[in-house]
Structure 1
Amino acid sequence: MNSLSQNTSLLNTDLSHDLAFFLSLLDAPFAPFMSSLDYASMMTNASSWFYSFLRKAFVSAIEKADLLFRTSPGRIQRFYVKQTRSRSIITIFGEITFKRTEYQRRDTKEPYCYIDRKLSLLPRQRYDCCIEAKAKEIYADHNSMIKTGRILGEQIYGFFSLDPDRKYHHLSRQTVYNLLHRCGRIRLRPTPMPHTPDTLYIMADEKWIPLQGECTEGTPHVREMVKVAVCFEGRERILKKDGTPTDRFRLKNKYIYSSCSSEKNNFWENLQDHLAVRYDLNKVKKIYIMGDGAGWIRRGISEMRMPGTTVKAALDRFHASQAIHRMTSDKVFQEVLIRYLFELKREEFDTVAEIARSYLKEENDRKRFDENLDYIHRHWHEVKVMVKEVKIGCAMEQAISHIIASHFTSVPKAYSRKNLPLYLNSRIHSQNGEDLIRLALTARDVSHEGKDADLRESYDFSFFDDQVRKETFTVHLRNRSNKKETYPF
């Protein structure tokens, strides 16, 4: 409160007089009514006055702290005064400029600045850590650095303003890029769940993201495969505010895991490690892996298999229906084939399929028909698992469209191979409900600039180290003159 009370000079500015004028209109019973523009002007003045007041109070508190450290008794024995310089940084309520003293250590002759250490400011840092964390959170929900810079700039300039110059405060795309790369990927330990279900469901699919800077005449389209898995315990009905059930469902305790193919790690092994933290896998009896039947998805059956746990693959209804629509364009044949497929009537399905094929005249149409029919035959058992055991369906196409496609494929060739894992990491944390601002602030103190931050629990394995035994040995030797000499070790 001392810092705030010392800045009462702001109450006498022209800005405060304008604000007081508009506020006086509220107290006058017979004053004319405010227009919408007048009300917006009042709110603009209030926002500007408040931001200006906070900036001056913050500068006053910083310079007071610098003076207290400079005059402290123990400072002279440890630090020389080198010089006093001004520094400007941009905070969440605008740019501030303050004076602080730079020192030099007496023992190591290294430079030292008390205020920079106090505020966690790095050398040549223009934006404070709050803006860095906010940039990471905003970009995780937007697919453009330009949008992120515009949102951040308007928030820094003022929560609401009618000033036409507010657009000049937008952060550039390069500035947002630098803020996002101030800290690398954040490796986080999954949150353990209080209860372990008997059955786990895993939806898996991949998305190919076009890359920039790697296209040549021989390979004009270079893409990165991103694998995504959505793990959940089942589905539950969505309730209204009054507790009335609706017709919509949501996945229960959903958890998302993703990785890029360039990371060259074992996708299913890492996913199992994450699930082992969330659940007691010894209590899980069944695991269903749902997807389009790709080879890397089917490999999850053997990778996720554990003693006492049955792992089965299931083909989602979307890809099964999509294969039938590719076989024939006739609506009647499509409806009949889909009904026989999900009723698991294979003989009737093959009979109708043979009739539908006889109506095709073009060789390419027959070839496409045979390919999709073979796809259904190869995954007939997986369709049976979906219909008989899973029953709840598979919404992986919706999930990957919302998580990956809408964010990373809306702009063609917008990402490089080295930056994509960083942006994907923030996106997945955001979709898992993590507080990105807190994560970014914590990771900033853990990692060096641009390095990955490992926020997982560290374990002390020092008890495995060999204990160093310090003992003294005495060696007795005789020289050529037969004189005894002692050498202690």
Structure 2
Amino acid sequence: MIKSIQQFEENGAKNLTGVLEKFLKDPQQQAEFIYGITDSVVQLGLDMIAETFESMDEELRNSGYRRRNWVISRRDETSLITSLGTVRYCKTLFKNKKTGACEYLLDRIMGLESHVRMTEDAQAQMLEEAVDSSYRKGGIRASLSEKVSKQTVKNKIHDLKFHTKPEKIENKKQVSYLYIDADEDHVSLQYLEKKGDITKPRSNTSMPKIAYVYEGAESEAPKSERFKLINPKYFGGIYEGSKGVEQFWREIYEYISATYDMDAIKQIYINGDGAAWIKSGRKFIAGSTFVLDKFHMQKYITAATSHLMDSSEDARSELYGAIHKRAKWMASETFEKILNITENEAQRKKVESSMAYILGHWDGIMQGLRNKETQVGCSAEGHVSHIYADRMSSRPLGWSKHGVHQMAKLRIYKANKGNMLELVRMQKQELPMAVGTEERIYLSSEMFRSESKRLTEEQRYVERITHSIPFPEVKKIAYFKNHIWGL
């Protein structure tokens, strides 16, 4: 970093002085003043990064320890997109004496795979934006001075891998009741695997599932009518077919069993609209029972009665009365009476559909009437809108099936307060150990003594410049030697 700081003292300081002078002459040009400072500081940062990378590479070239197993092959120019901008620097390609394999040892030490052209911080910022807005804006957000193509952003998101195994908790939580709300979104597909492969009209919709486990609900503030879920954990993605549904519920069960003391739980309520895949959760979640979402119950009752004009309110009251009396036969008779006075064929189909829905989910409705003090309302519709629809289905966007799954996973990851930088780092593959790796033979203290003798006059300049460097050059070299000895 010495050269870059020297250069900044010689040139950057002059630029800053010029920017400041222009601002003092015309104080209304504050935007230009701030832009000028930003450009100078960003350039200093890029220069410092590039110089640090090249100094690390130089240590590798000069290392006697490296010469035991590796010889220099050539030196290449390269670049990395960072959140500050593009860093351009040179790095050395080394050849292993035993295997003949060639490798950029600097990449190994920095944990960079051969195909990576973007640093972790840039990727994290790209995901932070793309999860909320678009691939294009994600490419803009990745770096201050470099635009990443939306295709690159798309490829990065399509390649993401998400870990589903829950963390092990030594002292599991003890709660009496747990709640699981479940639903799905409807996302329009532009294609399945590649453009033009959708032929049937009904195959252009993908339905990512969503479910979340929580311990109840509480008021957001005293006297507030708004409620928030207690310790929610979200799950989601495209899980198709019976095997997909089973995998989905098993992931949820693994989380519950890893987080909560199952013996302490009295009841687990699964809330939803009654879809077969939601009700099937009872097979995989021990001690669970299905409760029909009141929103959908009311929706179907309204659909069956809205055409009755002045009599609609009486019909609804009769249906709700049958439900509260737990009299399925009474509800059936009320639907039959509605059908008898409904002549329009389209409206009759709505009544028949509502009748099948209410009577078909009668047990779920009755479960909602039992133990009211331990139950909370289902908020799945709102969560589908907030977590999925805001990004995937509320706007005219075209998706592939894999794209829907990956974005659903990314939205779920964010809903669980996941850190995008940690997600980027989870993608990193374990680099294979270099042939010829040997045990470290020096202690750090010995390394400090030997390296301090090798400091050049240029390196000692750090001690004399007016701008103090918090990380002495001797320590930088010594710490880096630790990594060289692992080659």
- Give TM-score scaled by structure 1 length: 0.76
Runs of 5+ in structure 1 lacking a partner? Answer: 26-30, 158-168, 449-489
Query: Residue deviations 1:52-92, cap 9 Å, x none?
Result: 01011112222222222211222222221211221122211
Query: Residue deviations 1:367-407, cap 9 Å, x none?
Result: 32132123222323322322343442111111112222222
- The structure richer in helix per residue is 2
Q: How many residues align?
A: 417
Does the 8 A contact of 2:83 with 2:125 survive in 1?
A: no
Call closer, same or farther: CA 1:65–1:374 in 2, change over 3 Å.
Answer: closer
Q: Which letter maps to 2:21?
A: F
Cα distance in 2 for partners of 1:99, 1:170 equals 22
Does the 8 A contact of 2:208 with 2:405 survive in 1?
A: no
Q: Check if 1:20 corresponds to 2:20.
A: yes
Q: Check if 1:64 corresponds to 2:65.
A: no
Does the 8 A contact of 2:12 with 2:40 survive in 1?
A: no
Aligned-pair identity in percent equals 23
Residue 176 of structure 2, aligned match among 190, 198, 208: 198
Cα distance in 2 for partners of 1:446, 1:140 equals 26
Cα distance in 1 for partners of 2:69, 2:336 equals 90
Q: Which residue of 2 aligns with 1:55?
A: 46
Does the 8 A contact of 2:126 with 2:141 survive in 1?
A: no
Residue 139 of structure 1, aligned match among 130, 145, 158: 130
Q: Check if 1:373 corresponds to 2:355.
A: yes
Return 64-73 or 44-53, whichever deviates more. 64-73
- Note the C-alpha offset of 1:39: 1.2
Q: Check if 1:89 corresponds to 2:80.
A: yes
Does the 8 A contact of 2:182 with 2:380 survive in 1?
A: yes
Cα distance in 2 for partners of 1:443, 1:211 equals 27
Residue 298 of structure 1, aligned match among 279, 291, 295: 279
- Kindly report structure 1 stretches of 4+ aligned residues shifted beyond 6 Å: none
Cα distance in 2 for partners of 1:442, 1:146 equals 24
Cα distance in 2 for partners of 1:75, 1:291 equals 62
- The structure richer in strand per residue is 1
Across the aligned residues of Structure 1 and Structure 2, the Cα RMSD in angstroms comes to 3.0
Call closer, same or farther: CA 1:419–1:76 in 2, change over 3 Å.
Answer: same
Call closer, same or farther: CA 1:332–1:434 in 2, change over 3 Å.
Answer: farther
Matches within 5 A, 1:336-415: 336-339=314-317, 341=320, 344-345=324-325, 353=335, 356-390=338-372, 391-410=375-394, 414-415=398-399
Secondary structure in structure 1 of the residue aligned to 2:405 = helix
Q: Which letter maps to 2:379?
A: A
Call closer, same or farther: CA 1:10–1:352 in 2, change over 3 Å.
Answer: farther
- Note the C-alpha offset of 1:324: 1.3
Q: Which letter maps to 2:289?
A: K
Cα distance in 1 for partners of 2:65, 2:225 equals 69
Call closer, same or farther: CA 1:273–1:346 in 2, change over 3 Å.
Answer: closer
Cα distance in 1 for partners of 2:8, 2:173 equals 56
Q: Which residue of 2 aligns with 1:484?
A: none
Matches within 5 A, 1:315-334: 315-329=292-306, 330=308, 333-334=311-312
Q: Which letter maps to 1:227?
A: K
Cα distance in 1 for partners of 2:229, 2:431 equals 34
Cα distance in 2 for partners of 1:339, 1:7 equals 82
Runs of 5+ in structure 2 lacking a partner? Answer: 433-487
- Note the C-alpha offset of 1:361: 2.4
Does the 8 A contact of 1:236 with 1:252 survive in 2?
A: yes
Call closer, same or farther: CA 1:333–1:138 in 2, change over 3 Å.
Answer: farther
Q: Which letter maps to 1:317?
A: K
Secondary structure in structure 2 of the residue aligned to 1:156 = coil
- Note the C-alpha offset of 1:408: 2.2
Call closer, same or farther: CA 1:262–1:358 in 2, change over 3 Å.
Answer: closer
Call closer, same or farther: CA 1:303–1:84 in 2, change over 3 Å.
Answer: closer
Residue 429 of structure 1, aligned match among 409, 413, 417: 413
Does the 8 A contact of 2:166 with 2:254 survive in 1?
A: no
Q: Which letter maps to 1:444?
A: K
Larger radius of gyration: 1
Query: Residue deviations 1:266-308, cap 9 Å, x none?
Result: 1323321121112121211101111111222222223323xxx
Matches within 5 A, 1:193-342: 195-214=173-192, 215-219=197-201, 221-239=203-221, 244-262=222-240, 264-265=243-244, 266=246, 267-305=248-286, 309=287, 311-329=288-306, 330=308, 333-339=311-317, 341=320
Call closer, same or farther: CA 1:65–1:6 in 2, change over 3 Å.
Answer: farther
- Note the C-alpha offset of 1:233: 0.8
Secondary structure in structure 1 of the residue aligned to 2:136 = helix
Return 283-292 or 181-190, whichever deviates more. 181-190
Return 67-76 or 229-238, whichever deviates more. 67-76
Does the 8 A contact of 1:199 with 1:285 survive in 2?
A: yes
Matches within 5 A, 1:421-460: 421-446=405-430
Cα distance in 1 for partners of 2:13, 2:353 equals 77
Cα distance in 1 for partners of 2:50, 2:367 equals 66
Does the 8 A contact of 1:207 with 1:227 survive in 2?
A: yes
Cα distance in 2 for partners of 1:344, 1:354 equals 19
Query: Residue deviations 1:26-49, cap 9 Å, x none?
Result: xxxxx77x32xx111111111111
- Note the C-alpha offset of 1:220: 5.6
Return 246-255 or 409-418, whichever deviates more. 409-418
- Give TM-score scaled by structure 2 length: 0.77
